[in-house]
Structure 1
Amino acid sequence: MGKHYHVTGKHYLNALFSPQSIALFGASEKPNTVGGRVFANLLSGGFSGPVYPINPKYQTILDHTCYANVESIDQDIDLVIVATPAATVPEIIRSCGKRNVKAAIVLSAGFGEIEGGKALEHALLEAARDNGIRILGPNCLGFMRPALGLNATFSNNISHAGNLALVSQSGAICTAVLDWADSHQIGLSSMVSIGDANDLDFGDILDYLALDPETEGVLLYIEGIRNARSFMSGLRALARIKPVIVIKAGRHPEGSKAALSHTGSLVGADDVFDAALSRAGVVRAYTIEQLFSAARLLSSSCRIRGNRLAIITNAGGPGVMATDCAVEQGIQLAEISEATRSKLDSVLPAHWSRNNPIDILGDATPDRYRTAVEICLADEGVDGVLVMLTPQAMTAPAQAAEAVVEAASKQDKPVLTCWMGERLVAEGREVFIKSQVPTFSNPESALQAFGFLAQFQHNQALLMQVPGPLEATDAPDVEGARLIIECALAENRRLLSGLETRAVLRAFNINMLPAMPARTPNEALAVTEYLGAPVAMKILSPDITHKSDVGGVRLGINSAQAARQAYAEMLDNVKQHNPDATLEGVSIEKMYTGANGREILIGVINDPIFGPVVTCGSGGIAVEVLRDRVIALPPLNAAIAHSMISRTRVAKLLGRFRHLPPANIDALVSVLLGVSAMVCELPEIQEMDINPLMVDDEGAWSLDARIVVGNHANMHHYSHMAVHPYPTKWIQNIQLSDGTGIVLRPIRPEDANMVKDFVRSMSPEARYFRFMDTVKELSPTMLMRFTQLDYAREFAFIAVLEQGEFEAPLGIARYVGNPDHESGEFDIGVADDWQHKGIGTRLMTCLMQAAREQGLHAITADVLVSNTKMTRLLGDLGFDSHTSSNDPSLLRVSKKL
């Protein structure tokens, strides 16, 4: 039962992407105005629905009746486009609300992007929200949907229908890409200029494109992110299904923020953006040229299963160049099998290279190109082929291109081409363009494009990781740690004391060597005697963050007497460096005496956009110089932690190295997981360093740490994080009325096959009640949307019966939040043989509790009137119901939470 716009019904942006009728405010007959250009584009693009110009100054425009206002149009309107002065826009939106318009494109500028425009921006948003209208813009170029003949822009560019979508914050980038795409005969499924994105942002647009059948790949141009959770949610949903290439401007912002930790000085906003993209399973380009290279490959519908590439060339030099570039891109040169080498021997001249790159020599004929490509594509060890040609005396570029196109059509592996030169190879490139075979003018661009899609394939593994907040750690004392932080904040302190820091780390099972404070020279003597030499001495001061910078660290103190003397010397030294600092004594700490330790830094910063991020790399006093760090968004699990460690430069020192045994990587992973759990559960943590973390063959010990905290308005659990953890707290072992024990838990990505089998096993009647359709099984896209969730905006529970190592699905319930962020649409299904056992009630009770915790105020669904079992269940749970005004066979059920 149940129906939701994301899966089985219309998406809430359907009025924008697939309008049946359009009205244009500010239409004009003057071609040099925004309204005139847009109206001309709407008429010339081939849009089949009615277009109503609105402007009180005209009776007709271009032979179309012109209306004074929207009220005078007596037909339904799906989409309005506004090209009038900014001050008029809020009232226009209110008038459209009275006509039940659902979407608007506001081209007008003069809102939040100018001084004094914030009030007008607020008025626009208020008018839109009060009337249920979604706004694209303002201050945007507009929108294209070429397959519908819809060109709602004031651009002179046109676009052919294709499978590639472009979403950009910059209108200028849109026009550049449109011009390039037209000249290369690459079509677009959509072009969306989001402008100031005051309402519809990247997350909303990407959510639609994820399920858009016209779109097979997406290009994003980003200048800044407003809502990280929405962005990550939409991006992850899209990347699970389709390849995404992102380019971001502003990689090197001027200035640097004042940081209280090493980590804060090491990590910049661009590092965090990279980490976010990796976690979302997408790939980043760094130049417009790279974006164009990726677009060529995406538009051809090429999909890559691996990164093993064969290179075919008619000249050795270009083959070597391509090989160098492939290595730099992390692309693996395919190992040519003996069977493939034998086949090539039989058709190539005796002096061919006999290895990859495959040099088929300068006199290569079109037939030689065709045969070589066919043989390489048939090799199971080859994931793709780059075919290169340089124009030589005996070369026939156009005919060779036709031969390559023929060979490529027989396999679904990607074939990339690089006909090097200009005039002599132009005809050959035209052959590739017309056949939609990706072609490039140089090997670097071709390999960058292949590398992007290979990296996308690799990143999908990271996207599938859905760690819980306390992944693989012993149960931490979250409440104890929280109380320590609350006490510090109550005293208006941001930097935790050494003792407080130790206690918080210990609460999350991170080891530190024993330590005690000393506030006099004699106490320093006594503590050293108690702990046992050798010890380290560190200054205690709320005003000093980096102790070694002011002479506040002394290592290797070998006796109690030496500790007493060192105490006085240290305080005098620190006072000379920082006479205004409050000195509270010293901390005496047991020295690490292992001979096999490696120094690691593990840190945390709180990014203003993406929330907490965890970094790992080389530690010690030279961290800012070494700048060895790998960054990841929490939550982490063991797989993500291992991936982080392997990408650091210090990783080379963690294995067996000269006389040193291998470091205990599991202990290092455990610390990373403890830090991840800490930042998941304690949003007050703003910055943290564990430096150095000493890792040897026996374990890992924090030798020094600092934690910076701040107040946090935590409206909902994990609201401070860009990636919502797997909600382990909802896992329940329950017993049915007949004594059967089952598990009820949130759904996971690996449940896809189980969900598929569950739907397939339902009776035709149950499937019809559930989907209101004769669907027999879920498509791969629907399966991904059911099982790969962003638990912040959607939730699904599955009830399973454990049968040894296997689980049998008994029932599934889910909701997806509506765009208003206050309500959600739900659906539920229970296996035919397991009905009337209370499973449906249990599932719905958990679903309502989860929705309430995420801030929803109501959940709703459409139920067939004939589905009496479901209406009875929902009635018992207190749902209200009434007959749908649009369809008497449906009941609209709802419940306030």
Structure 2
Amino acid sequence: MSPAPNLAAASQGDMVADPLDALFFARSVALVGVSADPKKLNGIPLRHLQRGGFKGAIYPVNAKYDEIDGLRCYPSLTSLPEAPDVVLVMVQASDTAAVVDEAGRRGARAIVVMSSGFEETEGGKAFAAETRRVAAQYNMPLLGPNCEGLWSVRSGLVLTFGSAANRDVFHHAPISIVSQSGAVAGALARQLQNSGHGCAYVASMGNETCLDALDVLAWMIRQDDVRVVLLFIEGLRDGARLLELAQEARRNGISIVALKSGNSALGKEAASSHTGKIASAYAVYNDVFEQCGIIQVGSIAELVEAGEILATMPRPRRRPNGGIAIFSISGGTRALTADLCDTYGLHMSQFEPETVAALEAILPAFAHAQNPTDLTGQVLSRPELFEQALEIVAREPNTEALVLQFANRGPSDIRSRADMVANLAQTLDIPIIVSFLADILPAQERREMARRGMVAARDPADAVRYLSWLYRAAMDPVPDAAAPPASRPVAPPASTGWLDSARYLDRLSIDSVASVVVGHGQSLPELLSGMAGPFVVKALPEQVEHKTELGLVEVGLRDLAAVGEAVERIRAKLGDAHAGVLVQQMIFGVETVLSVIRDPDFGPVLVIGTGGRAVELWNDVGYLALPTNEDQVRGLIGRLKLSRLLAGFRGAPRASEDAFVKAALALANAAGAETSIREIELNPFIVLPEGQGAAAVDILIQLNA
């Protein structure tokens, strides 16, 4: 954002401490361009503001009217009796900068621009630039343009034309919404309000001409009435900042739940490396969310569900042998729920022998007292037996969270036992998920259950998914990946040729396989005197990028004669009898890929995965935004199939994972910080058996022009 308001600057005079406070805690609002017609888009915000219970001063500004809805209407901002905290701008794009300038001269503190016709149109870019310049001149935070505005429920400040605000009662809850789509922001707010849960703040970002989603996110995670932030994003200008904010949010006990749209392939037309071609916005965002502890969901409905659950439910209590306890009336769901826990990577609790013995003492002989339990329908016909068994399972020391799985009478069964289950939830302070067999309770009933510490799930799949969010939210903050220690800068390669690329890796303490370049007329016996076969013969990377597809790689050559013949065949295919040809010693190990790419949202990103010719076929790769650290690299490897190969798959020797991690960090620290390198890829990067290290076989480097 340049130029834009300096949001970090200290406020002057009686300005509030944080510039965004003026947006969400405004004491007075001016509506410029407001209409007296309540059906028009520029007339609706005034009605919403009045219905929302705003207690501050409201100043309609439009020279056409003397009065609107009993409020005096002013001809200009200059004529107002005081400087408004917020100016809501609803004029044509061509007039917006002038209004912002008048607001700045009058002493306004913040701007919301609902008008459209800016960056989203070819002719509006100049209007956006001028509006940005003027806002920066007065250091005023500006939300929009082309946005649906904002909500601040506790303040009664509802500045929007969206239909979601068309209500008389606004429920407050510790849930905030930041959305790059006005429609999605409204949909989330509407669903949360209609269910009775509510929300605290809503921000529709619009074009982000000045303020962007991360500016507003930074403000929201510092509010005392926020526990969850729902984030709908299409793309970010400074993705690296998201990692910092996610860490701060977790330290503040706030969960961020994100839904990412616009998941097309990342820069396919520009990327020439394999990893560049398979890198997509979704894949990078998915792994970076994992890296920084953001909970990712796949739909708007899941955003709403996650917000409600994370705002109302306690986090699982962590125990050494702990996990989820399943109190199942339906025997058929035991295996299903256990399978779902495994799919989400959630552990089942291990019942202590005393717990099993206590259950066996009261349950029928054909019941199953181990976790996951099968308590049979008999517990429903004997209320005291249900209560005794549930008390035993809930108080089991290793129960971190509880799934109470009912059968076909689920809704009626929980209604008759709600007091007992709620008492357990509140006494033990653990999440209790009440799961049905495709039954859906009315919204008001679900809300009341949540208020009492229980979540109603339609089926076991929903129950386990809800718990996966709670466990994710309960994770400790990820250790900060500080920038690597200062060291002597490593000069970038002089060229992208093999020799310069290999020398660059050597300066990074990353090995490359023993190699020679065979020039025209040079003696093979002399060049290969220090190398043992078998050999690989291939074209140089500066001659062609993807050699295998063009038949420019020959492997397994065991003597000099075979090498010489292969060299001539490569030259013939290149159409150059004098071409240099690369001869390498053939090494054996786990084929991996290491790469640093430049992501448009996150900047330098480390790519790790299973490499070789199958890199695109298996797509077993992961991403880490830089800087990163050893724990994050090892964690990413552990989530890939590559981890099984490195551990020694099907009798193969264990590979040198430590050498692989060391090389990954060296590449990330050096290439990630070197702006002249647009992309570097080592594929394959062979990880040798444990203790023997690792070496690059192919190196592809792209330098910025």
Partner of 1:49: 56
Deviations 1:253-312 (CA, angstroms, capped at 9, x unpaired) = 598324322221232222111222123221110122322321221120422344821122
Partner of 1:886: none
Select the residue among 287, 301, 306 that pairs with 1:275.
287
**Residues 290, 449 of structure 1: 8 Å contact kept:** no
Partner of 1:781: none
The answer to whether 1:106 aligns with 2:98 is: no
The secondary structure found in structure 1 opposite 2:430 is: coil
Partner of 2:400: 383
Query: How many positions carry a matched residue from both structures?
Result: 684
Q: Distance in 1 between matches of 2:583 and 2:692?
A: 22
1:418–1:449 Cα change, 3 Å: same
Moved more, 227-236 or 39-48: 227-236
Q: Distance in 2 between matches of 1:398 and 1:327?
A: 30
Select the residue among 635, 647, 655 that pairs with 2:647.
655
Q: Distance in 1 between matches of 2:266 and 2:111?
A: 36
Partner of 2:550: 550
Partner of 1:237: 248
Select the residue among 686, 692, 698 that pairs with 1:699.
692
The secondary structure found in structure 2 opposite 1:333 is: coil
Q: Distance in 2 between matches of 1:547 and 1:147?
A: 63
Task: Please state how far the C-alpha of 1:134 moved relative to its aligned partner.
Answer: 0.7
Q: Distance in 2 between matches of 1:588 and 1:15?
A: 67
Task: Please state how far the C-alpha of 1:162 moved relative to its aligned partner.
Answer: 0.7
Partner of 2:278: 266
1:538–1:423 Cα change, 3 Å: closer
Partner of 1:410: 427
**Residues 373, 407 of structure 1: 8 Å contact kept:** no
**Residues 164, 299 of structure 1: 8 Å contact kept:** yes
Partner of 2:89: 82
Q: Distance in 2 between matches of 1:166 and 1:367?
A: 44
Structure 1 segment 157-196 matched on structure 2, within 5 A: 157-158=164-165, 159-196=170-207
The secondary structure found in structure 2 opposite 1:617 is: strand
Partner of 1:326: 341
- Read off the aligned partner of 2:700 and give its amino acid letter: I
Moved more, 97-106 or 399-408: 399-408
- Read off the aligned partner of 1:267 and give its amino acid letter: A
Select the residue among 432, 449, 452 that pairs with 2:449.
432
Select the residue among 278, 303, 316 that pairs with 1:304.
316
Q: Distance in 1 between matches of 2:441 and 2:247?
A: 44
1:369–1:675 Cα change, 3 Å: farther
- Read off the aligned partner of 1:312 and give its amino acid letter: F
**Residues 660, 694 of structure 2: 8 Å contact kept:** no
1:326–1:201 Cα change, 3 Å: same
Select the residue among 678, 681, 689 that pairs with 2:681.
689
1:440–1:261 Cα change, 3 Å: same
Task: Please state how far the C-alpha of 1:657 moved relative to its aligned partner.
Answer: 4.3
1:58–1:624 Cα change, 3 Å: same
The secondary structure found in structure 2 opposite 1:648 is: coil
Deviations 1:179-205 (CA, angstroms, capped at 9, x unpaired) = 221232111111111111111112111
**Residues 534, 557 of structure 1: 8 Å contact kept:** yes
Partner of 1:711: 704
Deviations 1:60-83 (CA, angstroms, capped at 9, x unpaired) = 111111111111112231111112
- Read off the aligned partner of 1:620 and give its amino acid letter: G
- Read off the aligned partner of 1:195 and give its amino acid letter: G
Partner of 1:207: 218
Task: Please state how far the C-alpha of 1:18 moved relative to its aligned partner.
Answer: 1.0
Partner of 2:4: none
Task: Please state how far the C-alpha of 1:636 moved relative to its aligned partner.
Answer: 2.9
Partner of 2:585: 590
The secondary structure found in structure 2 opposite 1:211 is: coil
Moved more, 647-656 or 277-286: 647-656
The answer to whether 1:134 aligns with 2:162 is: no
The secondary structure found in structure 2 opposite 1:413 is: coil
Partner of 1:646: 638
Structure 1 segment 499-648 matched on structure 2, within 5 A: 499-540=499-540, 542-575=542-575, 584-592=579-587, 597-648=589-640
Partner of 1:66: 73
Structure 1 segment 721-800 matched on structure 2, within 5 A: none
Q: Distance in 1 between matches of 2:28 and 2:214?
A: 25
Task: Please state how far the C-alpha of 1:465 moved relative to its aligned partner.
Answer: 3.5
The secondary structure found in structure 2 opposite 1:612 is: strand
- Read off the aligned partner of 2:548 and give its amino acid letter: S
Partner of 1:223: 234
State the TM-score, normalizing by the size of structure 2.
Answer: 0.90
**Residues 329, 374 of structure 2: 8 Å contact kept:** yes
Task: Please state how far the C-alpha of 1:425 moved relative to its aligned partner.
Answer: 8.1
Structure 1 segment 803-822 matched on structure 2, within 5 A: none
User: Unpaired segments of 5 or more residues in structure 2?
Assistant: 1-8
- Runs of at least 4 residues off by over 6 Å: 423-427
Partner of 1:769: none
User: Unpaired segments of 5 or more residues in structure 1?
Assistant: 489-495, 713-897
Q: Distance in 2 between matches of 1:182 and 1:60?
A: 32
1:372–1:64 Cα change, 3 Å: farther
Q: Distance in 2 between matches of 1:504 and 1:108?
A: 52
1:123–1:531 Cα change, 3 Å: same
- Read off the aligned partner of 2:34 and give its amino acid letter: A
RMSD: 2.8
- Identity among equivalent positions (%) equals 26
**Residues 44, 161 of structure 2: 8 Å contact kept:** yes
The answer to whether 1:356 aligns with 2:393 is: no
**Residues 144, 210 of structure 2: 8 Å contact kept:** yes
Moved more, 280-289 or 9-18: 9-18
Deviations 1:624-661 (CA, angstroms, capped at 9, x unpaired) = 22221122122232212221222221221222445533
Deviations 1:666-690 (CA, angstroms, capped at 9, x unpaired) = 1111111111122233122222221
Deviations 1:810-866 (CA, angstroms, capped at 9, x unpaired) = xxxxxxxxxxxxxxxxxxxxxxxxxxxxxxxxxxxxxxxxxxxxxxxxxxxxxxxxx
The secondary structure found in structure 2 opposite 1:198 is: coil
Q: Distance in 2 between matches of 1:129 and 1:430?
A: 44
